Amino acid sequence: MSHNNIQGTLLHIPATVYILDLNSNGFKGELPKLSNGTSLLMLDLSSNFFVGSVHHFLCSYSPEVFLRSTLNLGNNHLSGVIPECWDKWHELIYLNLENNGLSGEIPGTLGSLRQLISLNLRGNKLLGRIPASLMNLKYLEILQIDRNELVGSIPKWFGNLSSLRLLNLRSNHFVGNIPYELCHSTRIQILDLANNDLSGSIPRCFNNFSVFLGKTVLNNNQMMFFGTRSKFVSGSDSLVMKGREDTYETILGLVTLLDLSSNNLVGPIPSELTALRELKSLNLSSNQLTGRIPDKIGDMKSLETLDLSLNKLSGKLPLSLSSLTFLSSFNVSWNQLTGRVPSSTQLQSFHESSFFGNKLCGDPLKLCLPTEVPNAEVQKEDNVSHGATDWGLIASVVVGLFIGFWLIVAPLMVSGVWRVAYFGFLSDLRYKTYDVMRKYLRRQHVF
């Protein structure tokens, strides 16, 4: 009876009920009681208006009460701490408590849910560190604890969760480096560590993720968890892609995302990232990254979203960006980039704000000044004008001075006969010039 407008309170759930799906209705009040002898396969009370604590619902039953598959209490108004009595629910494979007002620390007894595949605690007010007992969840594929107030470093033992596909730690207060051990979880296809206080450099081992490399074929059913033969629940997550936040549910199993934005990461973008040919969304914005954008970034053929804005990247935009034909969201604004925007149908289609805060030119920005390669003669003249030594000119001047001195000046100084003849020649030349000018002026006066 999901997705109706059923309102009122739900007092108890009879023992004869095995599957109950009342999500997306208008139920209010506290959570119902479970009758003794209840053996539920699936209980979904999400997206209602239930209030109060979850303690009486989870901890007040005898061993005759079982919940064997899925429990979804997400998107209500539940409050208080999450109790430490999960050892009674050891057959759960899917647990969702997202988007409530739950507080306190993550209970350590969650580590007793050895069959758990999906754990969703996102959007609450949880404090403290991630309990080490969660390393016992060997079958865990989805871990969502984003949008809480968790602290500490990212545990190295995440690398022991070999089945992990989705890890979302977004919007907490995690500090320290991204552990190299995380790369041992090779099946990850969604890794969101954005909006924390992480530091250090980006690990070079992200090319261990087989899904990003294209070595593992994606299957949308991998994010679906069957409660019965005819009813299943699917994982869902709110992810920032294509410049906006959307909720992905039915196609979550086809999403590949790496989001490290809004941290304090430093150093260059590892060239190893360019091997992630099946990655669809890469967001490294709002960090302190330096150096050049890797030249082979165009090898990431599946990229639909690329955001490198608000860093300290320098150099030119790689020409290989022209090869990213699936790009629908692109941003390199507010870096220290220079030069011309590479020509491609995709890059020229983005708004100029995608390039602001750099020294870039070319469509869609202002036109670049023409740059012509000078020929050899122009280059030679340019070298001379900028102080390059022209030895030919110097040799010509020296030879001219030498010949002029010995052929003209030296004989005049040595021989008196030469001096008389030379100055007599100059005197005759002067009188002849004066006579010609006088006759010319007289003729002009007559006419």
Q: How far is CA 248 from the centre of its chain?
A: 19
pTM greater than 0.85 = no
Instruction: Please give the pLDDT value at position 221.
Output: 66
Q: Do the bridges between strand 49-52 and strand 77-81 make them parallel or antiparallel, or are there none, so unpaired?
A: parallel
212 pLDDT above the threshold of 70: yes
Q: Do the bridges between strand 224-226 and strand 232-234 make them parallel or antiparallel, or are there none, so unpaired?
A: antiparallel
pLDDT band at 228 (very low <50, low <70, confident <90, very high): very low
Neighbours of 357 (CB within 10 A): 14
**239 with 305: CB under 8 angstroms?**
no
Amino acid at site 177: N
Going along the chain from its start, the domains and CATH numbers come out as 7-361 (3.80.10.10)
Question: Residue 76: which residues within 8 A CB-CB, separation 6 or more?
Answer: 45, 46, 47, 48, 49, 50, 51, 99, 100
Q: Do the bridges between strand 266-267 and strand 125-127 make them parallel or antiparallel, or are there none, so unpaired?
A: unpaired
Instruction: Please give the pLDDT value at position 53.
Output: 93
Q: Do the bridges between strand 232-234 and strand 237-241 make them parallel or antiparallel, or are there none, so unpaired?
A: unpaired
206-223 mean pLDDT: 82
pLDDT in tens, 362-381: 888 888 876 544 444 444 44
Residue 288 structure tokens: 């302190």
Q: Containing H/E element for 431?
A: helix 416-446
Q: What percent of the chain has pLDDT over 90?
A: 57
**432 with 426: CB under 8 angstroms?**
no
**412 with 419: CB under 8 angstroms?**
yes
121-127 mean pLDDT: 96
Instruction: Please give the pLDDT value at position 378.
Output: 42
Residues in the chain: 447
Identify the three-state secondary structure at position 329: strand
375-403 mean pLDDT: 55
**322 with 296: CB under 8 angstroms?**
no
pLDDT in tens, 256-267: 999 999 999 999
Q: What percent of the chain has pLDDT over 70?
A: 77
pLDDT band at 249 (very low <50, low <70, confident <90, very high): confident
106-134 mean pLDDT: 95
**198 with 222: CB under 8 angstroms?**
no
312 pLDDT above the threshold of 60: yes
d(CA 270, CA 259): 15
212-227 mean pLDDT: 71
Nearest in space to 122 (alpha carbons), one of 144, 107, 101, 104: 144
389-416 mean pLDDT: 62
pLDDT band at 402 (very low <50, low <70, confident <90, very high): low
Q: Tell me which range, 37-41, 172-176, 401-405, is most confidently predicted by mean pLDDT.
A: 172-176
pLDDT band at 211 (very low <50, low <70, confident <90, very high): very high
Mean pLDDT for the chain overall: 84
269-297 mean pLDDT: 96
Q: Containing H/E element for 218?
A: none
Q: If phi over 0 gives left and psi between -120 and 50 gives alpha, with beta otherwise, what is residue 113?
A: beta
73-86 mean pLDDT: 93
203 pLDDT above the threshold of 90: yes
Q: Which residues pair with 306 in a beta bridge?
A: 282, 330
